[in-house]
Amino acid sequence: MTCKLVADVAVVAGDHVLLVRYRDTSRYDGEAGWFLPDDFLARLEHPDDAARRILREQAGIEAAEVQLAEIESFDGDVWHLVFHYVAAIAEPVEVPLDGNVEEAKWCPPGELPDPSETAHHGWALDVLSRVLAAPALE
């Protein structure tokens, strides 16, 4: 059985969270909606390192602490193991739109996109509700 190892990062800046859309959605099951910044882990890459790489490559954020919030496993055509991280920064930053990031936006909690506009039927919103409600790990 094939397994995809994925990391995503809920980037929190004050009362805003970062969502992104991708240019090439082939790595995202063709989904064109909003996502938390995410990517596959590279071979032998530690999930913590993947989370920091995702922040750097997709949001231009270099110096944020990443904290593992939860690990999710689900099956389908391919088994997925997803490492959900949270990173807090002082305030929203301008996200460079290069690489595969086509659009980025900082959303206050009351202005998150509708699940129909969010990839995988609102999955990022479900993840956000869980990881932001969880007690901080030390």
* pTM, full prediction: 0.91
3-133 has CATH 3.40.630.30 classification: no
Give the integer Cα–Cα distance in Å for 37 and 60. 11
Question: In sequence order, which ranges of the chain are alpha helices (DSSP H)?
Answer: 47-54, 119-133
**Residue ranges per domain, the chain?**
3-133
Residue spans of the chain under pLDDT 50 = 137-138
Say what the pLDDT of residue 138 is.
43
Say what the pLDDT of residue 133 is.
83
Scanning the structure block, which residue is given the tokens 């991708």?
22
Say what the pLDDT of residue 96 is.
92
Q: Checking phi first, is residue 100 left (phi over 0); if not, alpha (psi -120 to 50) or beta?
A: alpha
Say what the pLDDT of residue 22 is.
95
Say what the pLDDT of residue 17 is.
96
Say what the pLDDT of residue 64 is.
81
